[in-house]
Structures are given as C-alpha cells and as structure tokens.
Amino acid sequence: MGEWLQRAAMIAKSDREEAPPHQRRFRTVSSVSVPAITQPQISHRLLSAQEQAAIRAWLALIEETDPATIAEVIGQCQRDADARDYFTGRAAAELPKPGTFPDDRRTCDQCANLIARRCQAAKRGEIVASRDYEPIRDLPRRCEGYAPCAADTDRRPGRERWPGLTDTKGGE
C-alpha cells in the first residue's frame, strides 16, 4: 500500500474515534484531501472504463506508480461509492483538459460582403445562392465568398482560406 494511502487510513481510523459523525468524511494529509475510511457506502454500480481510466490517469499525474497501490485504489472505488466519487472528482478537477479545436470559421457579421443583411458575393454570383440571399449572420461557417473585414488579422479571402470549398475532383 502506498505511503500516502497508509497515512490516510491511519488518520481516518483516528477520525472515526475522535470526530463527530458529520466531520468524518474527509481529512487533509500533506495538503491533499483524502477520504476518511468510515463505514463505506457499498456501490451497486460498476466502475466504468472511463472512470477507471480517469482515476489511473490522475494516479499517474500525482506520480503514484506502485501497482499494488493502484490496484487497491481501483478496488476500493469498485466497492465504495464514496471512494469512487472522491477519486473521480479529483481526476476531473486536476487532470489537464483537452485543448479546444481551433475554429477557423467566420460568421457573416465578420464578412465585408455583408451589407444591409444581404450577401454581396451572392448578389455578384460569386457563390451558389439566391441573388438576394440573407444569411444567418451569427452562424459560423466556411464560405468561398468570405471577404475579411478590417479587424480580421488573416487577410485571405474565403477562396484562398478554404480552397477545398471550390476544388472539384479531376480539376479543370
């Protein structure tokens, strides 16, 4: 059993003997809150693969590499709902979040071709749309008729920015 888990178990035992029931759930050990081992709430739900992966990732993050300790934590989470809630909560709070996908789409409100709610690229026949096309102005999209406004740092028009919108198979 890992040293921090042994200390948590010893402190939990002393908490059960000293603290009133409403203060027995969690205790800080070396600046880390760990669940006090009181009467476990028996889990009637299996630990999901996603929860187990998150707990294992969190244990790796805190550099817990002892296979016995890892197995004990996973086993405890499978049996005890409070332990599962604690460890999945720690994993959710402390694991790095995946980066957001860079969104290169633009809204028609960001396009210089939008004048008086009408698309001037459609009016000139540059895109496939009605000549009096009124687009949904706040819907992000990739449009071959896009013309950057002064505030857009990327000065390429839509045909250059998203060449795949107008390319055809076999070329012309």
In a domain, 172, yes or no: no
User: Is 134 a residue whose pLDDT tops 60?
Assistant: yes
Are 114 and 137 part of one and the same domain?
yes
Per-residue tokens: 55: 């707990």
Are 57 and 40 part of one and the same domain?
yes
Per-residue model confidence (pLDDT) at position 131:
93
pTM across the whole model: 0.42
Out of 51, 76, 94, pick the residue that ends a domain.
94
Per-residue model confidence (pLDDT) at position 93:
92
* Residue bearing the bigger pLDDT, 82 or 3: 82
Are 90 and 8 part of one and the same domain?
yes
- pLDDT per residue as tens digits for the range 78-101: 888 888 999 999 999 998 887 777
Are 119 and 41 part of one and the same domain?
no
Are 115 and 130 part of one and the same domain?
yes
* Cβ atoms of 84 and 51 closer than 8 Å: yes
Per-residue model confidence (pLDDT) at position 30:
46
Per-residue model confidence (pLDDT) at position 116:
94
Domain range for 124 is 100-159
Mean pLDDT of the chain: 80
Domain count within the chain: 2
